[in-house]
Amino acid sequence: MTTRFYLICIFLCATCIIKAQQPDWMAVADSLYAGEQYFEAGIFCERVLFEQQQPDVTTKAILLEINCYKNQEQFDKAARFIAAAQTRAVSDTLQKALYTELTTCYYLAGDFDNCIAAADRAAVLYGNTGGTRWMNLLKLLSLNEQQRWQEAAVLYRQQVPGDTLTDYYAHIPHLKNEDKASWLATFIPGAGHFYAGNTLEGITSILLQGAGVYYGVTSWLNGYYISALLAGGGVAGAFHLGGVKRASELVKIYNRKKTYEFNQQVKQSVISRW
Amino acid sequence: MAGRRLYRLLLPLLLVGAVNVQAQLNGGFSSDISFAKYLHDKEMYAHAHWVLTQMPETRLSLPQKDSLYYWRGWNAYASKTLKVAAENLMRVSDSADWAQKSHFFGAYCMAYQRDTAAYTAVQHIQLKDSIEHELRYFELAGIRLLQRDVKAYDSLRKHFTFSSYVMEGEERKMDAYYNKIMHQKRKSPLLAGLYSAVIPGAGKIYAGKKGQGIGAFFPVALLAGLTIEAYNVGGAKSARFITYSTLFSLFYAGNIWGSVVAVKVKQREQNNYYDNQILLNMHIPLRNLYN
């Protein structure tokens, strides 16, 4: 009986001593990620990087941490993390994967300049191999966002030769000129608003400026000279200046809307064909 | 017989096991703290905060507890959560190597939050050398100046040597702010209202808001002109006169009220400005000495 008791104790002690080793941080990160605890999972990935474990584990940790940031929709932080991780990535495969992730995160963060630059760097380093196709797609979408449709059309022709999508680029939206709207509103009340495509605001602008002028003229004719100049003139002048500014703003809104509609249309078609 | 042999084998195993568990605890703590420092250095303050709050306080030795409180506080200080920073930094024991740094910064965080206990906290810091003694007087003087207790400041500033490399410039600046606060003219809201009643906008200029004063003058003057003209041409019963005179009255009274408020707003702005400058001056020597 006593012998059995001692044997059990020895077994437990030995097991305890053998088991007492470094925790598997990567497994913890994986399980947290599976449980959608992305913030915590990211911390344990960082722990793996801090402990400087085996290269394959480090690679796994880097890629998982990127996904943690992406799942938290912290794309700018993800891009910064990837840029820093690039210095410790030794293998070409990982470097390429990081470029793909970097371009994606820049695009999702709305940093189109850096997205294009990252895609260009990857193209120089890796040529037209597998992952660069995805980066070229993001570059094309970024060019669209920057209204650089001619360059986007050229890129599309290079990537998908003989496709009819380029027909879209033959009908790129005609964007309106903000300065033109301002000038029109300066010389013809309401004309800038009409040019920007907003008839209702154009008519309102004419009525408000007209009311100011009418009040000024009638006041003058009735001997209210100060009222004519300061109240009538003031009202008309204020609405005139406001109208000029508003016409320019309306053109901006119009251009933004047209660009968005066009880019959405192209984006859906490109993604389905790429 | 066999039982005795097994017992002899079990004893060293138990001993090794106990040592191993202790080493695990120590190693785990120092590894966790190093990781938190690594995250802190990478400015991942939220991540470091999470790691530090997950570390249990039980079963830790006093130096380990000090280390934990210090890093919790320092990380919170870096992420500008000053309440948490003050709480943790003040929990560092006097025996810790970085006790003075923790307590000075903890008290500073309290002062920043206008916590009245900041003064006592600074008074109770265990000091090591003459520089820290002078630093204590400097911080105490700063707290008193924040409270606008100029008499207390005056007696504390007598300990300023104006020769320490850590705070010489800041001592002079603190004195300059003290002088400005002492000679700050208390402006009367009533007088500002009266000025604006005589000349619209004048009260705001008196309060120190020149642009607003000029801006307030023109609409009132314009409405006055329109009202006079409406009265002269259309008479007291004309709709034009009634409209303009009502508008004029509203603007005129509003401008007087605005001038009264402007004095208080300007006073608050000036106080905030001096408070920020004093806090900045209190902070610089701490950074100079401990960073």
pLDDT at A19: 47
Q: Which residues span the domain enclosing B214?
A: 189-276
Taking CB atoms and an 8 Å limit, are A46 and B44 in contact across chains? yes
Residue A138: pLDDT over 80: yes
Is the residue at B220 inside a domain? Answer: yes
What 3-state class would DSSP assign to B140? helix
| Residues of chain B found within 8 Å of residue A226, distances taken between Cβ atoms | 225-226, 229
Residues whose CB falls within 8 Å of the CB of residue B178, separated by 6 or more in sequence, listed in order: B145, B150, B153, B154, B157
A191 confidence band (pLDDT: 50, 70, 90): very high
In whole angstroms, give the CA distance from residue B184 to residue A246: 46
In whole angstroms, give the CA distance from residue A69 to residue B58: 33
Tell whether B13 lies on the interface with A, counting CB pairs under 8 A: yes
pLDDT tens sequence across A208-223: 999 999 999 999 999 9
Average pLDDT of the segment spanning A152-181: 83
- Chain A residue with CA closest to B13: the answer is A13
pLDDT at B28: 83
A168 confidence band (pLDDT: 50, 70, 90): confident
Tell whether A226 lies on the interface with B, counting CB pairs under 8 A: yes
DSSP state of B117: T
Is the residue at B249 inside a domain? Answer: yes
Percent of chain A at pLDDT > 70 equals 89
- What is chain B's pLDDT, residue by residue, as a tens digit (291 residues)? 556 665 665 555 555 555 454 444 455 899 999 999 999 999 999 999 999 999 998 889 999 999 999 999 999 999 999 999 999 999 999 999 999 999 999 999 999 999 999 999 999 999 988 999 999 999 999 999 999 999 999 999 999 999 998 999 999 999 999 999 999 888 999 999 999 999 999 999 999 999 999 999 999 999 999 999 999 999 999 999 999 999 999 999 999 999 999 999 999 999 999 999 999 999 999 999 998
User: Using an 8 Å Cβ cutoff, are A105 and A75 in contact?
Assistant: yes
pLDDT at B25: 45
User: Choosing among A1, A5, A6, A87, which should be mutated to test the B contact, i.e. which has the most B CBs within 10 A?
Assistant: A6
Mean pLDDT over each residue of chain A, to the nearest integer: 88
Question: In Å, how far is B240's CA from the nearest CA of chain A?
Answer: 10
pLDDT at A166: 61
| Residues of chain A found within 8 Å of residue B50, distances taken between Cβ atoms | 39-40, 43
Average pLDDT of the segment spanning A165-175: 79
Taking CB atoms and an 8 Å limit, are A230 and B222 in contact across chains? yes
Is the residue at B46 inside a domain? Answer: no
A274 confidence band (pLDDT: 50, 70, 90): low
Q: Which residue has the higher pLDDT, A45 or A134?
A: A45
CA B282 to chain centre: 10
| Residues of chain B found within 8 Å of residue A227, distances taken between Cβ atoms | 226, 229-230, 240
What's the domain count of chain B? 1
- Chain B residue with CA closest to A42: the answer is B47
**Chains A, B: CB contacts under 8 A, how many?**
68
Taking CB atoms and an 8 Å limit, are B3 and A227 in contact across chains? no
Tell whether B37 lies on the interface with A, counting CB pairs under 8 A: no
pLDDT tens sequence across A11-27: 455 544 444 456 889 99
| Residues of chain B found within 8 Å of residue A231, distances taken between Cβ atoms | 226
Structure tokens belonging to residue A6: 């001692």
Q: Which residue has the higher pLDDT, B33 or A171?
A: B33
Is the residue at B250 inside a domain? Answer: yes
pLDDT tens sequence across B28-42: 899 999 999 999 999
- Chain A residue with CA closest to B51: the answer is A43
Is the residue at B20 inside a domain? Answer: no
CA distances (Å), B19 to each of A22, B15, B23, B28, B169, in order? 16, 6, 6, 14, 54
User: Using an 8 Å Cβ cutoff, are B74 and B40 in contact?
Assistant: yes
Average pLDDT of the segment spanning A83-87: 90
pLDDT at A160: 78
pTM: 0.79
Tell whether B1 lies on the interface with A, counting CB pairs under 8 A: no
Structure tokens belonging to residue A84: 């820093």
Q: Which of A103-107, A198-202, B11-15, B130-134 has the lowest mean pLDDT?
A: B11-15
pLDDT at A161: 75
In the block, which residue shows the tokens 């915590």? A40
Tell whether A227 lies on the interface with B, counting CB pairs under 8 A: yes
| Residues of chain A found within 8 Å of residue B234, distances taken between Cβ atoms | 224
Question: In Å, how far is A226's CA from the nearest CA of chain B?
Answer: 6
Q: Which residue has the higher pLDDT, B150 or A274?
A: B150
- Chain B residue with CA closest to A232: the answer is B226
Q: Give me Rg for the CA atoms of chain B.
A: 32
pLDDT at A157: 83
Taking CB atoms and an 8 Å limit, are B39 and A17 in contact across chains? no
